Homo-oligomer: A and B are copies of this chain.
Amino acid sequence: MADLELMRELAIENDTKILLLILDGVGGLPMTPDGATELEAADTPHLDALAARSICGMSTPVAPGVTPGSGPGHLSLFGYDPLEFEIGRGVLEALGIGFDLQSNDVAARGNFCTLDEQGIITDRRAGRIPTEVGARLCEKLRQVQLPGMETFVRPVKEYRFVLVLRGEGLYDGLTETDPQQTGVPPRPVEPLRPEAADTAKLFNQWLAEARKLLADEYPANGCNLRGLAKDPGLPQMPNIYKLRCGAIATYPMYRGVAKLAGMEVLPTGETIEDEVETLKQHWADYDFFFFHVKKTDSRGEDGDFEGKAKVIEHLDAVLPDILALDPDVVIITGDHSTPALWKAHSWHELPVLLWSNYIRMDSVTQFGERPCMAGGLGHIYHPDLLPLAMAHAGRLIKFGA
């Protein structure tokens, strides 16, 4: 497994360019046992031609059998051991709505819930209230003031919101209030380490005030906080790898994770064509590009096999424009699998291709799960991809004499 300190020791500058092209949730499953996966069913002449000139394989994002969330899936692509570095749920939720999180903020994911007269939770999601209702309730919760603190309450979707505290002396290491079951009351926030005691008090104060304001708002007459966390303070990619890193992604969460890793987030539009245009505009300015395609995952979550294949075909159609920029190293894979059959993230390995002028071509001629099983990279781990890219880009010196 990759070792960030080793990378920091070996990395040197060079004038080569690395492109990490991520099709979110691209890994799939056949809808019938002997059928094709979404990627295999898609008509992808350019991906296949590139695979034929590449070395391919299968890659595990976290560990065998482990289904990654978006945070760990991307951390591992960026070379971090996702079991060592974690992005708290509150942070990820804040990034997901494009909130400009500061390094000392503590962010929590909030859930509106329903309480009975004894304060017992009867519905952990408050009957999945409409998003507009959630937004109105967030407006109301902005009245809660904490001494010496800024508070931010932002709606997400339905019963979900984000709460961020900003001020001096905030610590994470805090328990959640959601007991993960009905029939019991919400728990208080408790510190998991002594220095977080004051922060826990602040969150409990906020909760007490918030519940007063919500008292008449049936069914959303209560709320819980989950995943109270700070920016994890990741070692920064430009420092470790001596790469100027640019991120191109249409969704806030992926821009946010890239930013946590030390990448510069490039403004772009909503379509894959917009992203390609952004890549072209900034090609000279960065050494490493994280290029993220979201909708493969969305269609997979929808269970929409054809739709997911279409997104892959869409990317395939622009691939020649991307390759015309003449990168020195190209890696194409996903952050995790999202098979339409499973309608959710899954644990399955990802097909991966690695192209450079210094690879040993294998016999794979189609970019798909089953062809890549026979690829020359074998079965690898996501955190090893970036070190491999660095080596192929002539950006690592020899280890030891």
Contact = CB atoms under 8 A, between A and B. Distances in A.
B379 A370 contact: no
A242 interface: no
A362 interface: yes
A288 to B, nearest CB: 14
A348 B376 CA distance: 11
Interface string A58-76: 1000111111111110000
Given A362-B373, A379-B378, A69 B6 contact: no
A390 B2 CA distance: 26
A399 B65 CA distance: 10
A288 B87 CA distance: 33
Contacts of A377: 379
A369 interface: yes
- The DSSP consensus for interface residues of chain A is loop
Interface string A388-401: 11111000111111
A71 B399 CA distance: 9
Interface residues of A, number: 69
A53 B32 CA distance: 11
A384 interface: yes
A334 interface: no
Contact of A63 (B6, B33, B92): B6
A376 B371 CA distance: 10
Nearest to A357: B33
B92 A401 contact: yes
Number of copies of this kind of chain in the complex: 2
A42 interface: no
Interface stretch (A110-118, A275-283, A303-311, A339-347): A339-347
Contacts of A72: 399-400
Contact of A361 (B34, B357, B387): B34
Nearest to A227: B401
Given A72-B400, A347-B396, A370-B376, A391 B66 contact: yes
A189 B369 CA distance: 55
A83 interface: yes
Contact of A65 (B58, B92, B369, B387): B387
A313 interface: no
5 contacts: A64-B384, A65-B388, A67-B399, A68-B398, A362-B370
